[in-house]
Each structure stands twice: as C-alpha cells, then as structure tokens.
Amino acid sequence: MSAESGLKTFRDANGLWENHDVMEVASPEGWKRNRALVLAFYNQRRRQLKEVGPNEGHKALVRLEHKFETVIITQNVDNLHERAGSEHIIHLHGELTKARSTLNPNLVYDWPDDLKEGDKCEMGSQLRPDIVWFGEAVPKMEEAARELLYADIIIIIGSSMQVYPAAGLVGQAAPFIPVYYIDPKPAINYELSRRSNLTVIKGMAAVEVPKLIDELLK
C-alpha cells in the first residue's frame, strides 16, 4: 500500500534496507551498538514520509469506513491511513511519527520531526523510535486477533503473507467468511490455502482496492 505512494518498503529488494544491515537498524542489539545510526535511519524515513501522500487505495478504505464498521490492521509504520481519513487503525509494528521511552514503553509521544540523542522522556531516559524491532514482542497482536475473530469480511492488501506473526492473523477468522487478497505478486501461505472463500486479485492496491470497494458498497 505505502510503496505505491512512493515510500520504500521492507519487502522490495531495492527497499529501505538497501545499504543497511537489518539487525543494525531494526533490533535492540543494533540500538545498543550504534544509537546514532538508528536515529539517523528513522529520521530519514520520517523526512521521506513528509514528501508523499495517501494514494487511491488509502482513500478507498475511507469510503468503506463511512458505510461499514471497518478496522485497518497494518504492518506499515507510516501515517498515510490517518492522513487519508481512516480512524480505526491498529499499527502492529509501531508508528514512525511517534517516539517512546527506553525505560517505560507506555510513555509514547507524537514525534513528527527528527529524533536526536539527548531527547528524553519525562523519566529522563533517551527516546527511541516507536517501532517494533526484530526480536521484540508485537504488543497489539492480541487486539488485532480479537478483531479477526468477529470479522465478516477480510481484505488483505499488499502483503507478502510471509512475515509472522501478522501473516497468521487470517487464521483467527471464521473459516467461511469472504477473504479478498490484493497484491501484484500474491503468495498463498498455509492460512490462506485453508480458506474456502478466497478471492485473489493480482494487481496494484491503488488500482484494485477502489474497484473492490465499489463492489462492496453496492
């Protein structure tokens, strides 16, 4: 979804990990070894986010929310869903425009600009990006799983369906409900292979999501 707005992604071979070792910029160990590198990496991502906007896929989901009870569960860390106008969003992997305390993870602050060494929380500890790094728990996974339990329709957009535990969330839903999977290179994982009511739509989110939303709104 975000790649079509011009953001580099974790998924692409030429994506945002280019020229960076993943563990150096997205792990607790990398943070301990080179705090300045990690801060610079996410500051660059934050600046890039200001240069792009929501695409037609983001906007179509807002139209869906006007008609149906809609919850967006995203692995993306940007704020493009919010900027498009969606209100019910669960960020599984954190939010790029926020920072949190290294002592108390419940102390989270809005942080749209550069995060620097010396920026501290009210407890006096250095702030870090509010991003779930490799090796860390996904705190909102239970909340997301509860939403899947009661879903009537699932739309999966632009996911490789290879990154767990998020890729397994669809397995929480009732087995008979409709699941739509939109992706330029759809990959059917174990959970999707068990769905009896799966529709795979091969294409870009900015093109195919509005089409599907139009059909659902009818």
Task: Report the alpha-carbon distance of residue 101 to residue 135 in Å, rounded.
Answer: 18
Selection from 30, 29, 25 nearest residue 10 by Cα: 25
Task: Report the alpha-carbon distance of residue 101 to residue 200 in Å, rounded.
Answer: 41
Q: Where are the beta strands (DSSP E) in the chain?
A: 72-74, 89-91, 94-101, 108-110, 127-131, 154-157, 179-183, 198-202
Radius of gyration of the chain (CA): 18
Task: Report the alpha-carbon distance of residue 158 to residue 207 in Å, rounded.
Answer: 12
Q: Which of 58, 81, 91, 93 is catalytic?
A: 93
Return the sign of the alpha-carbon dihedral for residues 46, 50, 53, 54: positive
Q: Is 93 a catalytic residue?
A: yes
Return the sign of the alpha-carbon dihedral for residues 71, 76, 77, 78: negative
Residues acting as catalytic residues: 93
